[in-house]
Amino acid sequence: MIIVLLTFCSILPMFFILFFITSKGISVINWRFLTQLPRPVGEMGGGISNAIIGTFMLIGIATAISIPIGILAGIFLSENRKGRLASLIRLCVETLQGVPSIVIGIIAYIWLVVSMGSFSAASGGFALGLMMLPVIITATEETLKLIPESLREASLALGVSYPRTILKVILPAGVSGIVTGILLSVARVAGETAPLLFTAFGSPFMNLNILKPMNSLPLMIFNYATSPYPEWHTLAWGASFILIVFVLGLNLFTKVVTRRWKVQF
């Protein structure tokens, strides 16, 4: 049957990608690779430590920005199912989700890089945070919509105020869905390069200062893969292996773990 054949053909790329990255990348991975800084061209060895640290720092900034606003906005939307303002905001969330990542990078550049006068991790983290925001809002809204009204009534009937009911009863009941949304959006932005091209910009140095440029795994892969140096290509395969293990691992982890936290009503 053609249908079956085509279906299975379409997942072949997944296997190819995993196979190539693993075979070319895994031999590069060793302790030095993970803990050393990259060496200049021509020197053997070197590692990706600044990219790994940078990736985590950028994700940290992004989550710090996007989680509070994202959850509050998600609560707003789930508490206001009808209403023109809520519908409009919902439309904006969907639109924001579809904005190309390079345009987000341009915005972060205009708003932060220009005003700060230099590339910085802060602007890169901001761009990633903008990309995480709609996913977190939607996950929060959808999760909270599923929580039965009876839970809210039980709390209010005990004389618990509305803010406390939302924050201490409804929100905890939806924690698994919200955490899923957060983890999935982290997995999404961990692999993003375009918004960082002219915000965090990348750097050969280890940098913990968020006001300076910062490297990240995807940026490094892009720079090394498109360079003419074979040593750098090898490093890029290793970095790709780390990245893909992290991203796919996080996706799988999210699925498995949050199922256990799910509250039954």
Side-chain half-sphere exposure of 182, counting CA atoms within 13 A: 21
CA distance 141 to 148: 14
Contact segment (CB under 8 A) with another protein among 37-45, 51-59, 205-213, 237-245 equals 237-245
Phi, psi of 82 (to 5 degrees): -105, -170
- List beta partners, residue 201: 214
- Using CB under 8 A as the binding rule, whether residue 236 contacts another protein is answered as yes
Site for another protein in 54-113 (CB under 8 A): 69, 72-73, 75-77, 79-80, 85-86, 88-89, 91-96, 98-103, 106-107, 109-111
Beta bridge partners of 83: none
CA 184 to chain centre: 7
The beta-strand segments (E) located in the chain are: none
Q: Which of 261, 102, 96 lies closest to 193, judged by CA?
A: 102
| Sole window of 8-16, 36-44, 45-53, 206-214 interacting with another protein (rule: CB under 8 A) | 8-16
By C-beta, is 49 or 80 nearer to another protein? 80
Query: Interface residues for another protein in 106-145 (CB under 8 A)?
Result: 106-107, 109-111, 130, 133, 137
Q: Alpha carbon 251 to chain centroid distance?
A: 11
Give the residue with the Cβ less far from another protein, 108 or 122.
108
Of 31 and 82, the one with the shorter C-beta distance to another protein is 82
Q: Which of 29, 156, 206, 245 lies at the binding interface for another protein (CB under 8 A)? A: 156
The site map against another protein for 18-37 (x = CB under 8 A) is --xx----------------
